[in-house]
Structure 1
Amino acid sequence: MSAKGVIIIGSSRSKGNTYTIVSQLQQQTGFDVIDLKAYKINHFDYDLKNEDDFNALFKKITATYEIFVFATPIYWYTMSGVLKVFFDRISDFLFEEKEIGRRLRGKKMGVVSCGSDQEIKEGFIMPFTESANYLGMQYLGDIHTWIENKKITQEVAQRITEFANRLMEK
């Protein structure tokens, strides 16, 4: 049996192109999907005085899942602001409640990007790979996807299937 995984979608549109891609990946992996837009997550605060949904969400997902797939549209050549704020907030658990932050050690990370171009710019993946390294996570790789005429192309469908298979390997 494979490890339990979650796809965390960070988009400004809950049912946009990235969601279309995530739905296909979810069908093939059976992973749960969490839409960050459905949560109130404030920007990082050095005083750690945020009163929002992040801490409870982070505690739940780190206790529940072994594989984390971050799915993001490409906005201005990088991950979405919604997802960047999520990554920034992981710092909450590097300063306080460190045992919660340490739950990520040994877990696995993958990335799905969705953009209007068929290629991503050099450097896009670096924040993910370096975050995985810093947090002690195993980086499983990434795929870049796009939608044409509101549909998943055969090439993108193949990428999704190959990525799903990689995620499901032990």
Structure 2
Amino acid sequence: MANQPLILLASARKESDTAAFVQKVFQDTPHTLLDLLDYHVGPYRYENDYPIEDEFLKLIDQLLQHQVIVLATPVYWYAMSGGLKTFFDRLTDLVTVQKSLGRQLEGKYVFLMAVGADDALPDGFEVPFKLTAKYLHMQYGSSLYASTQELETDIYHLGNHREFLREIQDALQ
């Protein structure tokens, strides 16, 4: 598993533009796909008293098996999806009560895929991804963006996709 990227899909619906984008880009590339909709991840709690059905640590265990993590999110109100934001908030657990797990993220690579209505990612969109990767001693690779217009007309920047996949393959080496 470590020799293929793990994609964490963070859309609010199963049949999303982001899911279609991931499918298109990775159609010929072996990968592991985890959909946040399939997991119960509650909001961060300072008391660290999560319900028994909380699956954040289960997700982390799967992430730790991979050298490359691709975060795939729609752009909602100029930011990542609420589900991914909740996941990011829960990363706090990995620098407080689950430090041994958090330390295992060091050196792993993070890439970003996003889909939104605008022609380009909003200014500052990548900042939380880059700074979170830096804080956790991970390597931030790059991002790949598609507008919903591109998806609707099936116009893809194939050169960008190939370069993105090449960077991921390089990170797996």
Q: Same fold (TM over 0.5)?
A: yes
Q: Which runs of 5+ in 1 are unaligned?
A: none
Matches within 5 A, 1:37-76: 37-51=37-51, 52-62=54-64, 64-76=65-77
Matched to 1:150, the amino acid is E
Does the 8 Å CA contact 1:26/1:33 hold for their aligned counterparts?
Answer: no
Contact between 1:6 and 1:69, CA under 8 Å: does it hold in 2? yes
Percent of residue pairs identical = 31
After superposition, residues 54-133 of structure 1 pair within 5 angstroms as: 54-62=56-64, 64-133=65-134
1:117-150 CA-partner distances (Å, limit 9, x unpaired): 1112210100000001000011111111123363
1:167 is matched with which residue? 168
Question: What SS is found at the alignment partner of 1:44?
Answer: coil
Distance 1:78 1:133 in 2: 19
Give the structure-2-normalised TM-score. 0.90
* Superposition RMSD in Å: 1.6
Residue 141, structure 1, aligned to residue 142, structure 2: yes
Using the size of structure 1 for normalisation, the TM-score is 0.91
Q: Which residue of 2 aligns with 1:23?
A: 23
- In 2, distance between residues paired with 1:56 and 1:13? 21
How many aligned residue pairs are there?
167
Deviation at 1:85, TM superposition (A): 0.5
CA displacement at 1:31 relative to structure 2: 1.3
Partners of 1:82 and 1:125 lie apart in 2 by: 16
Residues 53-87 of structure 1 deviation map (CA, whole Å, 9 limit, x = unaligned):
1112212321x111001010000000001001011
**Shift of residue 151, structure 1, vs aligned partner:** 4.3
Give the conservation status (yes or no) of the 8 Å contact 1:77–1:124. yes
User: For structure 2, which runs of at least 5 residues remain unmatched after alignment?
Assistant: none
Q: Deviations over 1:67-123 (max 9, x none)?
A: 001010000000001001011111112111211111110000000110011112210
